[in-house]
Amino acid sequence: MKMPTTLSLAGRSLWARKYTALLTILSIATAVFLFLAVENLRQGVRASFERTISGTDLIVGARSSPVNLVLYSVFQIGDPTNNITWDTYQEISQRPDVAWAVPISLGDTHRGYRVVGTTEQYFERYKYAGDQDIVFKTGQPFDDLFDTVLGAQVARDLGYEMQTSLTLSHGLGGTSFVKHENRPFEVVGILAPTGTPVDRSVFVSLPALEAIHAGWKNGTPTPAARQMTPELLRSLNLQPQSVTALYIGASSRMQTLRLQRDLNTYAAEPLQAVIPGVALSQLWGTVSIVERALAVVSGFVVVVGLIGVLTSILTTLNERRREMAILRSVGARGRTIIGLLVSEAALIAFIGAGLGVVLLYALLWILSPVLEARFSISTLRAWPGLTDIYVVMALTGIAALLGLIPAGVSLKRSVSDGLSIRI
Amino acid sequence: MNTDTVLKLSHISFGYERDHVLMRVPDFTIQRGQSVFLRGASGSGKSTLLGLIGGVLKPASGQVSICGHETTSVSATRRDKIRADHLGIIFQQLNLLPYLNIIQNVTLPCRFSKIRAARASGESGSAAQAARKLVTDLGIGPEMLGRNVGHLSIGQQQRVAVARALIGSPDLIIADEPTSALDTDNRDRFIELLNAQRKRFDCSLLFVSHDLSLARHFDHAIDLDDLNMAASA
């Protein structure tokens, strides 16, 4: 039989007080769980955010702020301040330093999901998460005037399949009282999930947007508009007069800045050209205040957990005076008493922190489909990483240091109590 | 110093406050193999004296020597080592660690003293074997050895405590009121058992009690009030 080491003595002593120890371990586990969950979520949100759009050199819209332009053209949040004329789009797309230009047009919704009017090129040019292409889970881009392509989340949430018929609502609000009920669209394609706002979009062609608004005046349909049949609409000239924004790919990356400057000083109409990465950084800078606040709060939770460990050990010291006296009587040195209490604090923190990590990743494993479906956060770490190991180690180290406080108190007491304490 | 002297206190004075001396012991010696009964009433300073002998308390002046090792002028760590190597201590009651089983409790001193661990291993092959032999010799059945000490009666716990004090044959066993929780029959049996075992291991014994009737079991008897000049003053 091996003689117990200080750590195993600490473990056995802790086991003898397992219910109070368990509560302390749970408080540490909760603290670590919250801290790492916030950290993981923060990094996941940031990664999701940064991977929203790539491969696009410039986004061009009516002059406003870069953040506002990115919000409405990429994240589908907020409203555009103005449109870009079709002539301007044509002129820009024909510049030699522009490799491609994809127009998007916003203004309608379907059951709360934004409708994006665009061209087939959108599905070829829009890239996310580095260099990933949009992939059709089923179907193909729109061919007929009243064809529509659905983002993955729209199809999943609304239970739509291929050939489902749907109608659009006028306006960008969640609730609309003006619907394009006499011009139904048919689903011809459903996209694979991307973890970006694309998943929450309903795509139609630009002529289709023109068609459903044909005969409208001042944002409302005229009686004549209600009489227009799909066949009649197909025969009309449906070239748009304006679009909301353009995604642009430069012929050469080197020319992007010059192209941006040219577009920002475009004479024919006031335009704003932003580099997506720069605008995303600005946007993240704004929202990261919340992120930092969350990190601070979760940090405090960990501090409270550590104070819990200290309190738990300090409150049991009185009832453990006999234990210390016995150990001293059999020859335990001061360093053994210190080692015992430091090991105990470290053991509580290690088990608690480890439990917190296990709980977090178990929960993430269960909840990741929901997080991806509901919040498009698909970049959460699925397995513990170096950060988690560092957190567990740091917490164990800090708890061990804190353990020196009760150890000092206990050592002082064990000397004054002598060898024959009677309590 | 003669190494047959296991304990020697010379001109010891001690007080928790600088100008208030609680204990003054001019001379007190225990020779190897001797059993000494020290009578002391409650509050007479028994715990203080044991603290001084054990090296947990430091005298204001004077010297404490255990088996020739002077403990008052050495470091606390060295005092701890001397205590671990040369002293076995039995308390009044409940002096076992409740989270260890019988064998783990008995072998605990071997964890802190290589000398006692080596002696125990030399006698029986290993500290655990020595512990098993000791507790069975003291009347605890082999079926109980793996049990947690919390499940033992007070008498059984006292025997385990004796085994723990004896393991590795320390030079001096200090028994601090070990029989106060026992009835007369069990008390006498316990002392006989303790004496037999300590003779077998060639240990000296300092038995501290308030009960003068126990003095007949020991080679010498002394009253703490006679020993402590501060008390008589």
Average pLDDT, whole number, for chain A?
85
What is the three-class DSSP state of A249? strand
- Any A CB within 8 A of B77 CB: yes
B47 touches chain A (CB under 8 A): yes
User: How far is the C-alpha of B54 from the C-alpha of B49, rounded, in Å?
Assistant: 8
> How confident is the model at residue B1, as a pLDDT?
43
Q: Domains for chain B: give ranges and CATH numbers.
A: 5-232 (3.40.50.300)
State what percent of residues in chain A have pLDDT above 70: 92
Residue A171 neighbours by CB under 8 Å, 6+ apart: A107, A108, A109, A178, A219
Query: What pLDDT, in 10s, does the model give residues A208-250?
Result: 988 888 777 766 777 777 777 777 777 778 889 899 999 999 9
For residue A107, what is the enclosing H or E element? strand A98-110
| Chain A hits for B23, Cβ within 8 Å | none
pLDDT tens digits, residue range B135-188?
Answer: 888 888 888 887 788 888 888 888 888 889 889 989 999 988 888 777 787 788
Q: Are strands A113-118 and A147-150 parallel, antiparallel or unpaired?
A: unpaired
pLDDT-wise least confident of A68-82, A164-178, A196-210, B21-35:
A164-178
d(CA A378, CA A190): 19
Q: pLDDT tens digit string along B73-112? A: 898 888 888 988 999 988 876 578 888 889 999 999 998 8
Q: Which string of DSSP letters, residue by residue, matches A37-92?
A: HHHHHHHHHHHHHHTS-BS--EEEEESS-HHHHHHHHTS--S--S--EEHHHHHHH
Q: What ipTM was estimated for this complex?
A: 0.81
Instruction: Provide the pLDDT confidence category of residue A172 given band limits of 50, 70 and 90.
Output: low
- Here the tokens at position A338 are 């210190």
What is the average per-residue pLDDT within A155-171?
Answer: 89
Task: Fill in the DSSP letter of residue A322.
Answer: H
**What is the average per-residue pLDDT within A144-162?**
92
Run of H or E residues at A299:
helix A276-316
d(CA B61, CA B74): 14
Q: What is the mean pLDDT of residues B11-17?
A: 86
Q: Which residue has the tokens 């001084």?
A: B52
Distance (Å, rounded) from C-alpha B40 to C-alpha A327?
25
Taking any CB pair shorter than 8 Å as contact, residues of chain A touching chain B are 1, 3-4, 12-13, 15-16, 322-323, 326-336, 414-415, 418-420, 422
- Looking at the partner chain, which of A3, A329, A331 has a beta carbon nearest the beta carbon of B127? A3
Q: Please list every residue in chain A whose beta carbon sits closer than 8 Å to the beta carbon of residue B84.
A: 330-333
- The structure tokens 């470290």 sit at A346
Gap from B126 CA to chain A (nearest CA, Å): 9
Domains of chain A: which residue ranges?
Answer: 6-49+287-417, 58-274
Residue numbers in B near A418 (CB within 8 A):
47-48, 50-51, 54, 56-57
Please tell me the predicted confidence (pLDDT) of residue A325. Answer: 81
A116 pLDDT more than 90: yes
The per-residue pLDDT for range A277-324, each reduced to its tens digit, is 888 888 888 777 887 888 888 888 888 888 888 888 888 777 777 888
Q: What is the pLDDT of residue A318?
A: 74
pLDDT at residue A206 tops 90: yes
- Residue B2 pLDDT more than 60? no
**A378 pLDDT more than 80:** no
Percentage of chain A lying above the pLDDT 90 cut: 35
pLDDT confidence bin for B232, thresholds 50/70/90: low
Q: What is the pLDDT of residue A2?
A: 58
Question: What's the rounded Cα separation, in Å, for the pair B171 and B65?
Answer: 12
Distance CA A202, CA A190 (A): 10
Neighbours of A352 (CB within 10 A): 30
Residue A96: predicted pLDDT: 93
Q: What is the pLDDT of residue A173?
A: 60
Give the tens place of pLDDT for each residue, A18-67. Answer: 888 898 899 889 989 988 888 887 777 777 777 788 889 999 999 988 88
CB contact under 8 Å between A329 and B95, yes or no, is yes
Residues of B in contact with A327 (CB under 8 A): 97, 108
The set of residues, in sequence order, having a beta carbon less than 8 Å from that of A379 and lying 6+ positions away, is A43, A44, A47, A48, A51, A195
CB pairs under 8 A between A and B: 95
